[in-house]
Structure 1
Amino acid sequence: MRDFRPGWVFGMSLALLVLFIGFALVMPAQFAGAAEAALHFTTSHFGWLYLFVTTGFLLFSVGVALSDSGNIRLGADGEAPEFSYRSWLGMIFSAGMGVGLVFWGVAEPMTHYADPPLRAAEPSSPASAGLAMRYSLFHWGFHQWANFCVVGLAIAYVRFRQQRPGLISETFRSTLGDRVDGGLGHAINTLAVVSTVFGVATTLGLGMIQINSGMHSVFGVPFGAASQIAILGGVSVVFLLCSLAPLESGVRYVSDANMLLAGCLLVFVFFAGPTDFITAAMTNAIGEYFANVIGMSLVMTPYTGEDWVERWTIFYWAWGLSWAPFVGSFIARISRGRTIREFIVGVIGMPVLLSALWFATFGGSALYFEMFESAGLSARVAEEMSAGLFAMLDLLPFSGWVAPLTLVLIILFVVTSANSATFVLGMFTGRGVLEPSRSLRLIWGLVQTMVAGVLLLSGGLDALQTISILAAFPFMILMVFMASSLLKSLRDERRQRELHEALIRERLLRLLDDHDAQSFPEAGLRDAVEFIEGHDPNAPPHGATQVGP
């Protein structure tokens, strides 16, 4: 591990974030007004762009996975993956969605049940229940993970295939050339750092609200900003200590504990709750999701003037986009040795299946208790959105044991997300090193904590949502060009591979007579490649890629 040496990206990012913290603390009213005005301008004029771009990223990812480029390995040809498949998926899921799923697993379906999306059904009706499950799955489905996939794939490709630093700016080298080494590259990396900090701060804030709600339910701790700031301080000490450990013994083991505890909680609620209702609700939601995904992806409300899309879908897409540099970089860091197709399926496919099961289990149980036992959960969620989960758990057996364990799960998810973010921010501001220095990780852990604290004091959940949408917009534009640059790199590698195979055929012509060379079977070309490389010292290495523009 090399020593931390501050650079331009570190200095610019830290200066911008310190200015933000100072402005929000010194002039909170002006800060809230400016943020609200900027949010209204962004969603009014560019809300459609969030929808088109996020849908485009999903189509892009699927297209790359189905193409010949899906066979390319993120590393040397034949290189084995660094982590087992189970640990790999666990770290992806924990870093990408853990806190959000716990927070919204009950809150979102119950909110949509009482206030149906786009007024497409009667409130608190069977139709609104189906709509609630469909939109919950949509918001946590393929679109959200496609944002992470694009950034993660671009970084993993340049880092492990082209052997370049794991920086956001390096993903633009195929189109921008050496300009990424100067001011333009510094600006790109600075934007990624700022977006990451705001995205993670949103999740930290949501986690603190959820923990506060759980502690209020279990231990009677007062619910409010003061308690949330105190909880943030305690949790920050834990994740800062964990961030000082290596990735293998820090994030990995905490994420494994996350998945084990989350799995146990999921199994318990599934069998202790209305199991038949859960399975039927999940089947129905998956069917409706696939049947309506195109319409949901591009829906706006120009004829009614409602702001539902802005408050929900655009918020989720913006939150995912602001998380993309962090989650994408972290997924890239742990994906060495995977093929591109395996990467895309693992990042987009498997977490969505887990999300569907999670919402069907927790959201479905809440809907059952509300619809058939008049549990009053929708009123609890309307009063305090974070209270839905613990109110639902109170209706199950052994709630006195389950609720404290759920609190532990939330804390572990927060620690995993924040710990992972310190690594990624250290990579971005430490010239792309895979193992950032401890001092660098500690600095970014403190900055994340301060930003989350400022947002909690400035307006709680509303402030967290506002900053997510605003921070995501410039990075979303950047991601469009990142996808284009990645596509160019993949095409260049395919052309180089075709040229390589043409050179092998030319050498075969020299080794065989003309008749035998022309009749050489296509299926045996790979064996011939290995033979030539083993006997001809002048043959180019198979699978080699050109480094640089």
Structure 2
Amino acid sequence: MNETRERNGSRSHPVEAEPPGGPAAAARPRTDLAVFGVAAVLTLAFVVWGATATDTLESVSGKLLDGTIRNGGWAFVLAASGFVVFALWLAMSRYGRITLGEEGEQPEFRTISWIAMMFSAGMGIGLMFYGVSEPLSHFTTPPPGTDPADANEAMETAMATTLFHWTLHPWAMYAVVGLAIAYSTFRRGRRQLISAVFTPLIGERRANGWGGRVIDILAIFATLFGSAASLGLGALQIGSGFTGLGWMGSVGTGLLVAVIAVLTVAFVASAVSGIAKGIQWLSNINMVLAVSLAVFVFLVGPSIFILDLLPTSIGAFVGDLPQMVGRTEASSGEGVADWLAGWTVFYWAWWISWTPFVGMFIARISRGRTIRQFVGGVILVPSTVSLVWFAIFGGSAMHLQDGDRLSGAGTAQGQLFDVLQQYPVATVTSVVVMILVGIFFVSGADAASIVMGTLSQRGSLEPTRTVVVFWGVLTGAVAAIMLLIGGGKGDALTGLQNLTILAAAPFTVVMVGLCVALNRDLRQDPLIIRGRKGKEAIETAVMVGHEKYDGDFELRIGPTACNDGTEAPPSEESALPEDSTLPEESTEPAPSSTSAR
């Protein structure tokens, strides 16, 4: 480190320099016409295909999806567990103390708002949609390879399987992408693009060239279609609420399109208002409503049963984890392949299709947090909330089903309303559910619009309103069109989900590359280099001290040689006097020094 001083005496060595806190602020966001244009054209082409040849779209996507899951399901299974191990290892390793920003920088958002925004963007609609239906489905039809002896064991299996699909694995996928983007952007000063993360692997020129553009186009494509499919599920659930309340005899496409149109206007308005004013405000409201609904169901439902189910579910999850992680088509048991296609492998592919959107959005709101805080917040906090949520709603549903108070045969989007009908003020709670789904729709879609705007405008943290509005309107249009051509029953939406998975499947490879690139970046982080150099310097000094002074020596810090090669003048604080000698038998270290023996 002696050779790295500037003429003015300031430090310039990478080890000593503070890392950049983020990309340089551009005067105005510039749209990348190649990324924006190609993504827009491809999206519109698929919409036209779905509108003019629905049957062909469904047939082709179904066959391709079946082949992907049956032939590549093992890759999804291995990668999903690998991401969990990688993310948790980063948090527990020496890299965990690295700040996603400048050294000592404080988080941009309060912790409670950070968690609320992250949760709303990541799984808001999904938890509302599957909070009752998935545990109830596994309870009535246990997964292959399991043979519950009684209802209690069936409940344990159902909860363990549900938690496997909704806790560590999906959030680890989000954490890998979000962490890679946040570190690359706020620590290394690169643009907030998925392609920029690959700079350590493919070089800056390729990352900024067509190779990087292809990655960003795929990210926009997956984000748009993945968001539209999930938002369509939300619209179906709101429509089911109208039916459950008796406000309408049946739900038609006209109502669903109207719901999507109203919510599209709402989320576009929220998106252009900015993250702090729009998404944070909506997310905080939604968190209060969701907690209130969960507390209500807990109090009026089987409270003691739910409390018992919490530790039981954790134990069942831990105990069944090896079997669930290793369950593939090669597993013994009839119907394993079909079950995996409908559940585990489908979920892993579906979460991966959301990682560009959720990962980039989480990165955007996580500046100033350490890697350890990031992983803990992104994986452990939502996983805990998911555990409680499924225990309350899924546990209540299974308890009702076990007591023959619930048919268990309703549609997935209507089963939550069926449960609420068994408790007091069902009308009020059903309306709250529709409001929750609507706000989750808004907060998720406007976050997706901002992320797509960022990808379209060279990683700008504040994309222009025009681009954000364009992607927001197109997201609503895709969801509405696919519901419209599906007759309002979700058939075409299923075809869209298949296409989304197929389009996002290459991101499994991309995410593995992100892990490699992030690891390479972290090894060269200034904080890590300083620690490594310091350790090497101390070890060298101790070895020399033992060899030269037979273990009887002191370590003191002093100035190094000047640029011209002359010795630095001795200082009273850091250099020994010329006539000083090291004692032969030193028993105590000198003040302000380090003694090694």
TM-score w.r.t. the length of structure 2 is 0.83
**Structure-2 residue corresponding to 1:496:** 529
Q: Which amino acid aligns with 2:510?
A: L
**Structure 2 counterpart of 1:397, from 424, 435, 442:** 424
Equivalent residues of 1:212, 1:221 under 8 A apart: no
The superposition leaves residues 149-173 of structure 1 with CA deviations (integer Å, 9 ceiling, x where unpaired) of 0000000001110111100001100
**Which protein has the bigger helix share?**
1
**Structure-2 residue corresponding to 1:81:** 107
Q: Tell me the distance in 1 between the aligned counterparts of 2:90 and 2:102.
A: 19
Deviation at 1:118, TM superposition (A): 1.1
Equivalent residues of 1:225, 1:460 under 8 A apart: no
Equivalent residues of 1:113, 1:123 under 8 A apart: no
Is residue 2:477 matched to residue 1:450?
yes
**Structure 2 counterpart of 1:258, from 286, 293, 297:** 286
Q: Rate the CA distance shift 1:6–1:492 in 2: closer, same or farther, 3 A.
A: closer
Q: Which amino acid aligns with 2:406?
A: G
1:128-527 correspondence runs (5 A): 128-178=154-204, 179-218=206-245, 219-220=247-248, 222-302=250-330, 303=332, 304-306=334-336, 307-372=338-403, 374-380=404-410, 384-456=411-483, 457-458=485-486, 459-460=491-492, 462-493=494-525, 496-498=529-531, 501=534, 508=558, 510=560, 512-513=574-575
Equivalent residues of 2:114, 2:365 under 8 A apart: yes
The superposition leaves residues 45-91 of structure 1 with CA deviations (integer Å, 9 ceiling, x where unpaired) of 10111110011000000111111000000000000110111111111
Q: Tell me the distance in 2 between the aligned counterparts of 1:520 and 1:229.
A: 79
**Structure-2 residue corresponding to 1:534:** none
The superposition leaves residues 314-337 of structure 1 with CA deviations (integer Å, 9 ceiling, x where unpaired) of 111111111101111011000010
**Structure-2 residue corresponding to 1:543:** none
Equivalent residues of 1:273, 1:396 under 8 A apart: yes
Q: Tell me the distance in 2 between the aligned counterparts of 1:105 and 1:524.
A: 61
Q: Which amino acid aligns with 1:293?
A: L
1:101-112 correspondence runs (5 A): 101-112=127-138
**Structure-2 residue corresponding to 1:25:** 51
The superposition leaves residues 359-378 of structure 1 with CA deviations (integer Å, 9 ceiling, x where unpaired) of 00001001111112x12341
Q: Tell me the distance in 1 between the aligned counterparts of 2:308 and 2:321.
A: 20
Deviates more, 1:311-320 or 1:294-303: 294-303
Deviates more, 1:136-145 or 1:445-454: 445-454
Q: Which amino acid aligns with 1:166?
A: Q
Equivalent residues of 2:70, 2:329 under 8 A apart: no
Q: Which amino acid aligns with 1:256?
A: N
Q: Tell me the distance in 2 between the aligned counterparts of 1:208 and 1:437.
A: 28
Q: Tell me the distance in 2 between the aligned counterparts of 1:60 and 1:33.
A: 37
Is residue 2:116 matched to residue 1:90?
yes
**Structure-1 residue corresponding to 2:549:** none
Equivalent residues of 2:240, 2:413 under 8 A apart: yes
Q: Tell me the distance in 1 between the aligned counterparts of 2:350 and 2:462.
A: 27
Equivalent residues of 1:366, 1:377 under 8 A apart: no
Is residue 2:96 matched to residue 1:46?
no
Q: CA RMSD in A?
A: 2.3
Q: Which amino acid aligns with 1:485?
A: A
Q: Which amino acid aligns with 2:265?
A: V
Q: Tell me the distance in 2 between the aligned counterparts of 1:125 and 1:465.
A: 33
**Structure-2 residue corresponding to 1:535:** none
Q: Tell me the distance in 2 between the aligned counterparts of 1:132 and 1:227.
A: 34
The superposition leaves residues 168-190 of structure 1 with CA deviations (integer Å, 9 ceiling, x where unpaired) of 00110011112101110100111
Q: Which amino acid aligns with 2:494?
A: D
Q: Match of 1:94, SS?
A: helix
Deviates more, 1:194-203 or 1:215-224: 215-224
Q: Match of 1:262, SS?
A: helix
The superposition leaves residues 132-156 of structure 1 with CA deviations (integer Å, 9 ceiling, x where unpaired) of 1111111111001001000000000
Deviation at 1:119, TM superposition (A): 5.4
Deviation at 1:37, TM superposition (A): 1.0
Deviation at 1:465, TM superposition (A): 3.8
Q: Rate the CA distance shift 1:152–1:467 in 2: closer, same or farther, 3 A.
A: same
Q: Tell me the distance in 2 between the aligned counterparts of 1:425 and 1:125.
A: 46
Deviation at 1:481, TM superposition (A): 0.5
Q: Tell me the distance in 2 between the aligned counterparts of 1:141 and 1:3.
A: 36
Q: Rate the CA distance shift 1:524–1:91 in 2: closer, same or farther, 3 A.
A: farther
Q: Rate the CA distance shift 1:500–1:520 in 2: closer, same or farther, 3 A.
A: farther
Identity fraction in percent: 36
Q: Match of 2:413, SS?
A: helix
Q: Which amino acid aligns with 2:419?
A: M
Q: Which amino acid aligns with 1:241?
A: A
Q: Which amino acid aligns with 1:150?
A: V
Deviation at 1:271, TM superposition (A): 0.7
Structure 1 gap ranges (5+) = 526-549
Q: Which amino acid aligns with 1:427?
A: T
Q: Which amino acid aligns with 1:331?
A: I
Deviation at 1:492, TM superposition (A): 1.4
The superposition leaves residues 239-282 of structure 1 with CA deviations (integer Å, 9 ceiling, x where unpaired) of 11211101110101000001011011111111111100111112
Q: Match of 1:386, SS?
A: coil
Q: Tell me the distance in 2 between the aligned counterparts of 1:487 and 1:106.
A: 39
Q: Tell me the distance in 2 between the aligned counterparts of 1:84 and 1:118.
A: 44
Q: Tell me the distance in 2 between the aligned counterparts of 1:183 and 1:264.
A: 49
Deviates more, 1:501-510 or 1:347-356: 501-510
Q: Which amino acid aligns with 1:97?
A: M
Equivalent residues of 1:114, 1:124 under 8 A apart: no
Q: Match of 2:275, SS?
A: coil
The superposition leaves residues 433-462 of structure 1 with CA deviations (integer Å, 9 ceiling, x where unpaired) of 111110000110122122223433342553
Equivalent residues of 2:108, 2:365 under 8 A apart: yes
Equivalent residues of 1:315, 1:468 under 8 A apart: no
Q: Which amino acid aligns with 1:488?
A: R
